[in-house]
Chains A and B, each alone.
Chain A
Amino acid sequence: MTAAGALEGLGQALAIVVVPPLLLGVIARTKAVLAGRVGPPLLQPYHDLIKLLGKGTVVSRTTTWVFLAGPAVSLVAAVMAAAVVPIGGGRALWSFDGDFIALAYVLGLARYFTMAAALDTGSSFEGMGASREATFACIAEPAFIMGLLALARATGSLSLSGFLGPSIADVWSVASASLVLVAAGLLLVLLAENSRIPVDDPSTHLELTMVHEVMILDHGGPLLGVVLYGASVKLFVFAALLVRIAIPVARPVWLGWLAFLLGLIAVAAVIGVIESAMARLRLQYVPALLLSACLFCALALVLLAR
């Protein structure tokens, strides 16, 4: 590996570790500005994480090791997912043929352990959240896989670095229609997977309608910190996919990185705008939203197979 390559790898690893909580800060700030408030500082999520990691833990006596495994596995899975996603215009930290399928399954593993940890508490409330998460995932996952398949078909590659690495700019000139559809589908999947507003409300802890927040209700202190950080890394993964599709700038390297980081902030701002502009959908309409994400990605595949 050349010195430049090593430097870029180091930059990517650093971005995976450092950037994710900033996205949460940007979302919170956008929502505050649109609501006419000053809002928390952009770096507030980092302070929250440090505060949570310094606290003690209270674990219910009814829980088993699964309860502790939930946050741990979902954080590790999210970081693994981030490692196969191309960051900053170059290739991913770790790429192999079929890594896009690994990405989908690693994220699925994270979801499984989050749900298992919720069920492990024995609370019917958390069980309900887990049930909803599973229901929505049933529709969101096919959309995600189909979107990635469309990218595979468009680029003729089998790894995410091939999809979204430096070559994505060429795809725009031949299959722009499919890329727009995939981007739209992935945006909806991002909102669903990261429990953002049309699907779930991340800011409430007392509503019966919430999905993700209810599953982590019993996690406190460092465990909650790990959950929060894992969730932000997951948001970072989806935002990175979206940014690489929407802003296919890769060369020169500094411009690729600049476009990538600004793109991430733009995605977070867009999420903030969506959250400010609309209310959470009624539970019965969520499948329609996720189904349309599926249909967008399926249509992208059809257009490519034409």
Chain B
Amino acid sequence: MSSFFEPLLVTVLLLNMFVLGASRLRAVISASAAQGVCLGVLAVTAHGELSPAVIGIALAAVATKAVVIPRLLYKAMRDVAIVRDVEPLIGLIPSLVIGAVGTVLAVVFSGTLPLPGAHDGSLVLPSSLATVLTGCIVLTTRRKAITQVVGYLILENGIFILGLSLLDAMPFLVEVGVLLDLVVGIFVMGIIINHVSREFASTDAAELSELKE
């Protein structure tokens, strides 16, 4: 484990806070892309030796999380002409505070959830839990369908961090499967957003609750 490891995890945490505090949609998407880059570098630094599997996962993570998916989202923003504001259901400051409290709780409670191997006592588990929680907050408190996609993406980033510590145990195929899963999810969401906007002229998630003939 190199000395970059913990600062990188902290960068992921800082990006979580940025996502919760940002008011612009583009900024939120860019932050999730930056998180993807961090995860790629993390995957390399988490393991001392550079095996093909590690490099493969790192490259795949950066390619999907930092290049392909953000581009799809930007394209969706352009095509559907989504307004650039985030439109949170609760204010930005409350979501920041909830995120921070969640992060602190993740740090406190991760002590009781020991990880296998060398990562015991490091920031891996807290940052993973905090990132999943951030994803949940974005998923539940943002009105737009596209921010829900970003929330899903961040949640998935959290799971990826957890997967990093299990990389030796977890087969390569599982990781790739997760990434594929993600792209498929984004595609489906993109299609849904497009479809919804064509049919109903609104991608406000609050209005998706009513079924119509």
Q: Is the interface of A mostly helix, strand, loop or mixed?
A: helix
Q: Could you tell me the distance in whole angstroms from the C-beta of B127 to the nearest C-beta in chain A?
A: 9
Q: How far apart are the CA atoms of A291 and B92 in the complex, in Å?
A: 11
Residue in contact with A285 in the complex, picked from B14, B17, B92, CB distance below 8 Å: B92
Q: Is the CB of B104 within 8 A of A299?
A: yes
Contact bitstring B1-31, A, C-beta under 8 A = 1, else 0: 0010011011101100110010100000000
Residue in contact with B123 in the complex, picked from A172, A177, A287, A289, CB distance below 8 Å: A177
Q: How far apart are the CA atoms of A299 and B108 in the complex, in Å?
A: 11
Residue in contact with A177 in the complex, picked from B6, B92, B97, CB distance below 8 Å: B6
Residue in contact with A176 in the complex, picked from B7, B23, B97, B107, CB distance below 8 Å: B7
Size category, B interface: 20 to 34
Q: Could you tell me the distance in whole angstroms from the C-beta of B173 to the nearest C-beta in chain A?
A: 32
Total inter-chain residue pairs, C-beta < 8 Å: 57
Q: Does A303 lie at the interface of the complex (its beta carbon under 8 Å from any beta carbon of B)?
A: yes
Q: Could you tell me the distance in whole angstroms from the C-beta of B29 to the nearest C-beta in chain A?
A: 16
Q: How far apart are the CA atoms of A285 and B100 in the complex, in Å?
A: 17
Q: Is the CB of B23 within 8 A of A285?
A: yes
Q: Does A292 lie at the interface of the complex (its beta carbon under 8 Å from any beta carbon of B)?
A: yes
Q: Is the CB of A288 within 8 A of B10?
A: no
Q: Could you tell me the distance in whole angstroms from the C-beta of B209 to the nearest C-beta in chain A?
A: 29
Contact bitstring A278-292, B, C-beta under 8 A = 1, else 0: 000000010111011
Residue in contact with A292 in the complex, picked from B17, B23, B107, CB distance below 8 Å: B17
Q: Is the CB of B6 within 8 A of A288?
A: no
Q: Does B103 lie at the interface of the complex (its beta carbon under 8 Å from any beta carbon of A)?
A: yes
Residue in contact with B7 in the complex, picked from A180, A289, A298, A306, CB distance below 8 Å: A180
Q: How far apart are the CA atoms of A289 and B14 in the complex, in Å?
A: 12
Q: Is the CB of A177 within 8 A of B17?
A: no
Can you name 11 A-B residue pairings with CB atoms under 8 Å?
A176-B10, A177-B6, A177-B123, A180-B11, A184-B14, A288-B93, A291-B21, A291-B96, A292-B21, A295-B100, A296-B14
What residues make up the interface of B, taking CB atoms closer than 8 Å to A?
3, 6-7, 9-11, 13-14, 17-18, 21, 23, 92-93, 96-97, 100, 103-104, 107-108, 111, 123
